[in-house]
Structure 1
Amino acid sequence: MNKQHRHAYQAIKEVCQSHHGWETILLEYIGVSRQAYHKSINRKETVWEKQDRTLKKHVKRIYEEHNGSVGAGKILTHLIHENKLGFKLSLKRVRRVMNELNLVCKVRKKKINRKEKEEKYIQDNILDQNFKVTKPNEVWLTDSTQIEYGPNKRYKVRLSGILDLYGRFLLGYIITPTETAEAEMTMFEEVFKNEGDVHPMVHTDRGSAYVANSFNKLLAQHKVSRSMSRPGTPYDNSPMERWWNDFKLRWMDLHPTPATLEELKNLVKEGIDYFNNQDRSDKINGFTPAEYRNKAI
């Protein structure tokens, strides 16, 4: 007996309790014999039907207890945890019962297409490994690297920096637990404040911090042009990568591992000062990066 017939028989039974004689009329109307009707009405409920009726009662109860904010998966979890039914349950069965009861989860978290969202801020590699510049603040490179401190280098933080391609002078840096758009924005805001009205090309990789909406809005406010490394191509940002490499090999690795974060910050500050103001390079005519940059300014 299908669901439609069952509901029709139940309706006829209820109506005929107070209106004798209507049974024949109604059965003829739906095209069912009295024998089939009485056989159906008097039949015993099957085990499956009993389970289904019980399951519907509990599904509806849990749904209402949670103000309709739960779906089939959550309801199944609650039913299994309560362990009151005594028969096997499945997600498919709970979904079917919810459909029959017209119960729909009212809370649906909107799926964010992160790839599509990030692609909005992915730029071409405008710099294209052309690392020759003629003046300060023409091209800025930025990136972050991991540095460690504590016993056995137990603790790890991110060191982000902005490198002026002219003379390889590190304009600013920030140490944070992880690389975030907020940290990069703080660093850039400080550098823009120090450098004044400048509009460099800013080259980055495609990390999540650099494709963030907030980060790119900040750069747009300062009217910079954007360039990004191609995927899996560190050479597109090789001067920045080389700076980090020298900083670690020639400074961090030659000093004892800092025991505390404060010691690490002091060591990083001293190292950046060394590379900006003391380290001379034949690539810039024997000047330090600071001297070379100041000479141009």
Structure 2
Amino acid sequence: IEDEMILAAIQQIEERHLDCAGYRKVTDILNSDTSKIEEYNFNFDFPINIKRVRRIMHEHGIKADIRQPRRNRVKEQQQYLEDNLLHRQFNPNHPNKVWVTDTTELTYGRGNKVRLHVVLDLYGNYALSHYVSPTETAKDAIKVFELAKQRTGVLAPLIHTDRGSAYTSREFSNYLCQNQCVHSMSAPGTPADNAVIERWWCDFKHMWMAHHPAPQTLDQLLKLVSAGVTYFNNVEISGKRNNLTAVDYYNGEIA
């Protein structure tokens, strides 16, 4: 009965506002003193929640006829091109020139989820650091870079990421600026712009995780991840690295 009364009131409001009142404005009017407004013949003596108004409007197809902001997609695409400074040049000629990073989801036990962060040096695809966190935040993204910095002493001058919320945050941007790093970003929905680490994830999950018993505890997962990173750094060889492991290829140039 209350919903029917609210619906009738919503229809009055929309008629008076030429079908241009959104659910926020409608809720404000319903909860205001309407006794002074002659066009309305309702006056509720109970508060009406905005979610209730939105539900009733949705159920009856009542939608505000307002102008939607136009997006300049040409300008956005140009901005994405300008932001991608790496330009899919995945073969630097020296270590610590370009680092890439990303996160992926891992599970353990009965559906428990965590995020695995990895920083790769594009010179030989050497995993400089990894970090497991409950969620993907700017602090977690910074943490894995701090671990990489402990190994090398400095960050690479060019850091490439996707457009995840952790990487587009002000906190992460300030961190890179403080370390004199230039931030390159992939275009939205374009994993090929960060293809190296996407391939690394694929190999890590299908060559390593899938060939070991599923971890049942967080401790088991952490040990499995650590062993997997060690495998891809110290055991796996690649023709692109002259059949060397990632660590031998990386350290050979450092030496």
Q: Same fold (TM over 0.5)?
A: yes
1:157 paired with 2:114, answer: yes
Cα shift at 1:198: 4.3
1:170 paired with 2:145, answer: no
Q: Percent identity of the aligned residues? A: 45
For 1:251, what is the secondary structure of its paired residue?
helix
Aligned to 1:6: none
Aligned to 2:204: 247
Aligned to 2:59: none
Aligned to 2:234: 277
Superposed counterparts of 1:48-63, under 5 Å: none
Q: 1:198 to 1:176 in 2, by over 3 A?
A: closer
Aligned to 1:207: 164
Aligned to 2:44: 89
For 2:154, what is the secondary structure of its paired residue?
coil
The one-letter amino acid of 1:224's match is C
For 1:179, what is the secondary structure of its paired residue?
coil
After superposing the two structures, state which structure 1 stretch, 281-290 or 188-197, moved more: 188-197
Q: 1:223 to 1:279 in 2, by over 3 A?
A: same
Deviation string, structure 1 residues 13-61 (Cα, Å, up to 9, x no partner):
xxxxxxxxxxxxxxxxxxxxxxxxxxxxxxxxxxxxxxxxxxxxxxxxx
1:257 paired with 2:214, answer: yes
- What is the number of equivalent residue pairs in this alignment? 188
Of the three residues 181, 187, 191, the one matched with 1:230 is 187
Structure with higher Rg: it is 1
Of the three residues 118, 125, 131, the one matched with 2:90 is 131
For 1:128, what is the secondary structure of its paired residue?
coil
Aligned to 1:140: 99
Aligned to 2:8: none
| Structure 1: 5+ residue stretches without partners | 1-71, 78-86, 93-118
For 1:237, what is the secondary structure of its paired residue?
helix
| Structure 2: 5+ residue stretches without partners | 1-26, 33-41, 48-75
Cα shift at 1:76: 4.3
Determine the C-alpha separation between the residues in 2 that align with 1:178 and 1:150.
17
Aligned to 2:249: 292
Determine the C-alpha separation between the residues in 2 that align with 1:179 and 1:188.
14
2:116, 2:133 within 8 Å by CA — same for their partners in 1?
yes
Determine the C-alpha separation between the residues in 1 that align with 2:88 and 2:235.
27
Determine the C-alpha separation between the residues in 1 that align with 2:154 and 2:133.
27
Cα shift at 1:284: 0.4
Determine the C-alpha separation between the residues in 1 that align with 2:191 and 2:223.
29
Aligned-pair Cα RMSD in Å: 2.6
Runs of 4+, deviation exceeding 2 Å? 197-200
Superposed counterparts of 1:10-29, under 5 Å: none
